């Protein structure tokens, strides 16, 4: 079990959405300090004037910025006990219609924005012989989907990296826990317009944040939601590809889920 009370937590992409909700829930469970890294400044006074939450402007896709921010935490003896790698961006659309800058940005934020913080902070966590790394991947890491080829590719990368890291930490007996989170669409502005069906409803942000926090406490290897996401690895493994496509694409309409995608409004 991972005890949250008294722990230091770092959340990337923590200024809004489930990052911000997780911050408040972790504080409610007794976290000593929550540090937010983001490019967007949160309104700390509006919701939590007295909560032990601090903010540092960091673009997690920029290696040098992450290195400097990480070293600052190490120098201040603020190495996180729990590192939640939550930052992410998405643009919906067919691969050939997306711009090179959109493609690059998704890879930089969704992949390197996960890898760089862990790269610079993990050695210090190992030295302290404690810690928990939480990677926010996606159900898109377990299933292909039209109009999100690059986003899915980035989340597949995070999934593979996180799972490999978990095995490395076990093999080296570091006591570092690793959890991989694979939610379906969460009902935030990031995926506005995206929708599947009643069997795969868009997740409420409060529910998603609560499940992630509970998963951290229980040292879950995988934190999957909603329930049907648990069946994806099995179905993909036992069904012929054409049957799987028919069931998921036509039966559950997953392959049409990005048809009305709007994302964050300008």
Which own/partner contact pairs does 154-162 have at CB distance under 8 Å and 24+ positions apart? 154/88, 154/106, 154/107, 154/110, 154/111, 155/110, 157/110, 157/111, 158/85, 158/110, 158/111, 158/114, 159/135, 161/114, 161/115, 161/135, 162/114, 162/133, 162/135, 162/137
Tell me the sheet residues that pair with 132.
82, 177
Across the chain, which has 266 residues, the per-10-residue mean pLDDT values are 94 95 96 96 68 94 98 98 97 94 97 98 97 96 93 97 98 97 90 78 93 97 91 92 92 88 67
171: domain CATH number is 3.40.50.720
Task: Tell me how far apart the alpha carbons of residues 98 and 102 are, in angstroms, rounded to a whole number.
Answer: 6
Per-residue model confidence (pLDDT) at position 193: 83
pTM of the predicted structure, to 2 decimals: 0.94
- pLDDT recorded at residue 266: 46
- Is the residue at 1 inside a domain? no
45 located within any domain:
yes
Task: Establish if 141 belongs to a structural domain.
Answer: yes
Contact 83, 133 (CB under 8 A): yes
Q: Is residue 97 part of a domain?
A: yes
**pLDDT score recorded for residue 201:** 79
pLDDT of amino acid 228: 83
* Cα–Cα distance, 114 to 109 (Å, whole number): 7
94, 151, 159, 255: the catalytic one is: 151
Taken in order 58, 60, 61, 65, the sign of the CA dihedral is positive
Give the separation between CA 104 and CA 166, rounded to whole angstroms.
27
Question: Between β-strands 53-57 and 33-38, what pairing exists: parallel, antiparallel or unpaired?
Answer: parallel
d(Cα 130, Cα 101) in Å, to the nearest integer? Answer: 38
Residue 68 domain boundaries: 8-256
In a domain, 19, yes or no: yes
Domain count, the chain: 1
151 part of the active site: yes
In a domain, 156, yes or no: yes
């Amino acid at each position: 079990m991972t005890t949250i009370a008294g722990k230091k937590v770092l959340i990337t992409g923590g200024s809004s959405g489930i990052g911000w909700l997780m911050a408040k829930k972790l504080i409610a469970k007794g976290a000593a300090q929550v540090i937010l890294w983001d490019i967007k400044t949160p309104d700390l006074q509006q919701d939590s004037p007295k909560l032990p939450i601090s903010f540092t402007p960091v673009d997690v896709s920029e290696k040098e910025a992450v290195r400097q921010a990480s070293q600052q935490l190490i120098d201040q003896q603020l190495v996180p006990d729990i590192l939640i790698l939550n930052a992410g961006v998405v643009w919906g659309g067919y691969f050939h219609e997306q711009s090179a800058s959109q493609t690059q940005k998704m890879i930089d934020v969704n992949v390197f924005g996960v890898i760089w913080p862990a790269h610079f902070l993990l050695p210090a966590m190992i030295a302290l012989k404690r810690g928990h790394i939480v990677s926010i991947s996606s159900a898109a890491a377990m299933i292909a989907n039209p109009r999100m080829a690059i986003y899915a590719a980035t989340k597949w990368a995070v999934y593979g990296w996180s799972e490999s890291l978990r095995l490395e930490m076990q093999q080296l007996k570091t006591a570092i826990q690793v959890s991989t989170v694979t939610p379906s669409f969460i009902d935030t502005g990031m995926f506005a317009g995206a929708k599947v069906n009643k069997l795969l409803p868009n997740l409420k942000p409060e529910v998603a944040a609560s499940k992630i926090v509970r998963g951290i406490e229980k040292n879950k290897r995988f934190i999957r939601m909603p329930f049907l996401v648990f069946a994806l690895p099995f179905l993909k493994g036992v069904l012929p590809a054409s049957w799987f496509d028919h069931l998921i694409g036509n039966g559950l309409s997953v392959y049409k889920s990005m048809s009305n995608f709007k994302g964050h409004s300008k």
